[in-house]
Amino acid sequence: MGKVTCDISVSVDGYAAGPNQRLEAPLGDGAERLLHRWMFEDVESNQAELAAITAAGAFIMGRNMFGPGRGEWDLDWTGWWGAEPPYHAPVFVLTHHERDSVPMRGGTVFHFVTGGVGEALARARDAAGGQDVAVAGGAATVNQFLAAGLLDELRLHVSPVLLGRGERLFEGLGRTELVQVGVRHTDLVTHLRYEPVRG
């Protein structure tokens, strides 16, 4: 069975998104450029980390990462990524509202899970067929997986910026021990790899 991994970009002060998340600014005011410059401006230096982000056999994400809406679904909305999302695998979206699966070009199929992180993980493991399952975000979803002791590896991509406010990783988790298993930096990011200590 593969590992349950998570890659998430954060500021030095622990924010995975800035304030005022909305349709026009999915990661809040200014955060997308500040947190993800390393992905677009220095691809060559960060190739291994970029490849690892989409190498899983299935993915899990929160509803906020899939789209800006709350409440009942806008059935015309199929994600932030256009007709061919970058996942090329099944993606399980945590939600409180049922919705039929949405197939996209390139092999991505969005499935909507109303039974919480346990159900999402079971379905993702089954779909991954022995490959890794990646928790794609956002921060609230990652926090749920950490709190439940379900992550095998946490990969933080720390951008050299202080956001000051927004959606914070580790909010409300309490004491959580992590074993550092890797660290590497480039000009725009520090890549940290941790294994959460269970039990």
Residue 188 predicted with pLDDT over 90 = yes
**Residue 198 is assigned to a structural domain of this protein:** no
The values of phi and psi at residue 2, to 5°, are: -70, 175
In a domain, 148, yes or no: yes
* 81 inside domain: no
Q: What are the pLDDT digits (tens) for 29-59?
A: 888 889 999 999 999 999 999 999 999 999 9
Domain that holds residue 107: 4-18+26-68+86-190
**Is residue 43 included in any domain, yes or no?**
yes
Question: What pTM was estimated for this model as a whole?
Answer: 0.95
Report yes or no on 120 lying in a domain. Answer: yes
pLDDT tens digits, one per residue of 149-184:
999 999 999 999 999 999 999 999 989 999 999 999
- We report the CATH number of the domain holding residue 114 as 3.40.430.10
The count of structural domains within the chain is 1
Q: Which residue has the tokens 């190739």?
A: 47
Q: Which of 117, 137, 134, 135 is nearest to 10 (CA)?
A: 137
Asked, for residue 76, whether it belongs to a domain, the answer is no
Do 118 and 145 contact (CB within 8 A), yes or no? Answer: no
**CA 150 – CA 118 distance, rounded (Å):** 9
Kindly state the tokens that stand for 43.
């691809």
Q: And the tokens for 138?
A: 């956002």
Q: How is 181-194 classified by DSSP, letter by letter?
A: EEEEE-SS-EEEEE
Q: And the tokens for 83?
A: 């007709």
Do the domain assignments include residue 80?
A: no
The verdict on residue 74 lying in a domain is no
User: Measured between alpha carbons, how far is 17 from 168 in angstroms, rounded to an integer?
Assistant: 7
